[in-house]
Structure formats: C-alpha cells, structure tokens
Homo-oligomer: A and B are copies of this chain.
C-alpha cells in the first residue's frame, strides 16, 4: 500500500510550496496570546525544536498586531540558532478585516480567514493586499460556525458548495494562492466533507479534526480521521488539535505521517511488555522518542522486552535492544553486538542513533 497523493495546484506560503508534489507539512497554532510574549517565546522554541513547519496564531485585537514583527525576529534568530529554516507564519483572523490588512503589513506569510464573516468590499481589499504581497490565504471554515441556513440543511453537499462559492468570490478578484480547510469535531464528518471537497476542487487542503479533545482523545480522533484521508491521498498540510501544549500537536502530526510512510523519521518499535518482560521497555522507549523526535530520516529502532518476538523484531530494525533476563542484548543490522543493563543499553543505542542521523 503506497499512498498516492491527490493532484492539486501548487501554492506558496512564504518560501514553502504546498501541494501534491511537496511534502505534507505539519502545522501548529500558538496557545499563548502574542501579548504574553515571554510565554510565546518558550512555546515557539519548543515548536521549532520538534520541527513544526508552519505556525499559526490568533489575532484577536490591535494589541496583538504590535507583536508580529517581534515574533518574526524571534523566529528568525531561534531558527538560525537551531540550524533550521524559520517556518512561515499564518495570522488567524475573525470578524475584523482591518486586522487582516494590518497583519499582512507586518509581514506574515499567510492569513486564515473565513470569508463568510467578512463584507465583500473588505474582502476585496484584503485580496488586493494579498496579491501585492504574494500572501497565501487559507479559507478556513469550522462547521460549528456556519451560517444557520447552511448548517440547518445538515448536508455535506450544502457545506462543500457553500465553501466553493466563497472560493469563487475570491477567484473573481483574481486570486488563487488559496488553501482550503473545512473542519468538524466529528471524525466521520471530517472524512465525509473532505472526500467530497477533494472531488470538487484542486486547491491544496489543510486537514484537521477540530476541537478534537485531550491528548488521548484528540490524538486518537486526529489519527483516525486524518489517517483515513491521508491514506487516500487527501491532505497537503495537517494540524492535530489537542487541548495540550502545542509541541505535542507537532509530535502527533509527524507520527501520523510516518505511520503512513508519508514523512521520514525515527520509528521506535517497542513492545507492550507482558508477563514475560523483565526489563524497563516503557522508560527506555519514551526517552529515545523524545530525544530523537526531530530526526527526519528513516531509522528503525526496536526496544523489545522478551525472547519470544523480541530478537526477531529487533533483527529487522537498523538498531535494536531486546530483553534477555535482566539484560538487554544489543542488535545492529540483525547481529548481536553486545549486552548490558538499562543505562548501558540506553547509552549504546543513543550513541548509535546520533551517528546514524
């Protein structure tokens, strides 16, 4: 099963190209308001460390606008420090079109608007500015905030057609650097809506299950919903909504893509442990997962508890450790190359991974 991406237009968001020949990018959204900039700095740093590729943030008021330039500078400097490329910024704007114009002036690479809650004359002004500055517009609709006449029809077609009509309005102003997202809090609706949308448009799609919940339920809903769509080739950028710290959204996002072979990264195969296990698999797997989450190259690492499936699985991996009594056996490309307890095993495998990356 190889995933075959759906053909789309290629759009640009700052220096990123988005669409079917490009990687599927992982996005997150700041949890802290820009106005609390000390917290934003910490949040952004963590996002960069785990490899977040697009950062969105809410612009609820004029006060926030003042912080955009500061955010851009911080992003630039911190990315340089971490030897990464600074991710493009998307300003998330509702109701007040003036905020969209101001955000674009401050240098964001994209804006997210719901044209349904913006007057036609203001929309025209926004588009004109977006054309001038080569900015990307994400038309982002949450089904929770649809006009009553649409939501009352309760039909997928009504929603999709409503959004395509909004897109048509924007196209009429001569603008096509558009990404579309329609989000719903139900996994099944998210799947249905995006499948229908994918048939009717060739704009890139941003996927997310909205208000997905806690770390546990949000991770499951996003993995199921996005996983099914992505496996059918639908989706060009993704965001995992969690009522959790934003960097965890990025970790989950990459895990979803890696599970389907859509992005590369470290793959830790660790066994669930059972009555046979006498070594601490859970702890060692967790440490490795966090320590090497930023790797974007396929490395298979097995952390196995026992002698039933352990050595077999560990052999298939690039690197592996498998419990044998109170010890771990160390495997490299299928061969036992050493043996040691918890700390020795952790040190051995960490060093090996660092050399591989």
Contacts and interface: CB of A to CB of B under 8 A. Distances in A.
A258 to B, nearest CB: 8
B272 A211 contact: yes
B269 A211 contact: yes
Copies in the complex: 2
Contacts of A277: 31
A224 B235 CA distance: 15
A243 B272 contact: yes
B309 A142 contact: yes
Interface string A192-221: 100000000000000000111111111111
A59 B275 CA distance: 8
A225 interface: yes
A-side interface mostly: mixed
A243 B270 contact: yes
Contacts of A64: 275
The contact size tier of chain A is 35 or more
Contacts of A33: 275-276
Interface in A8-49: 29-35
- Chain B CB within 10 Å, residue with most, of A33, A142, A185, A248: A185
A227 interface: yes
- Residue of A31, A270, A303 contacting most chain B CB atoms (<10 Å): A270
A313 B144 contact: yes
A213 to B, nearest CB: 5
A181 interface: no
A118 B155 CA distance: 55
B219 A219 contact: yes
20 contacts: A30-B274, A35-B275, A59-B275, A92-B274, A144-B313, A187-B259, A191-B231, A212-B270, A212-B272, A213-B289, A214-B285, A216-B219, A216-B251, A219-B223, A221-B259, A223-B223, A228-B228, A241-B271, A243-B286, A249-B272
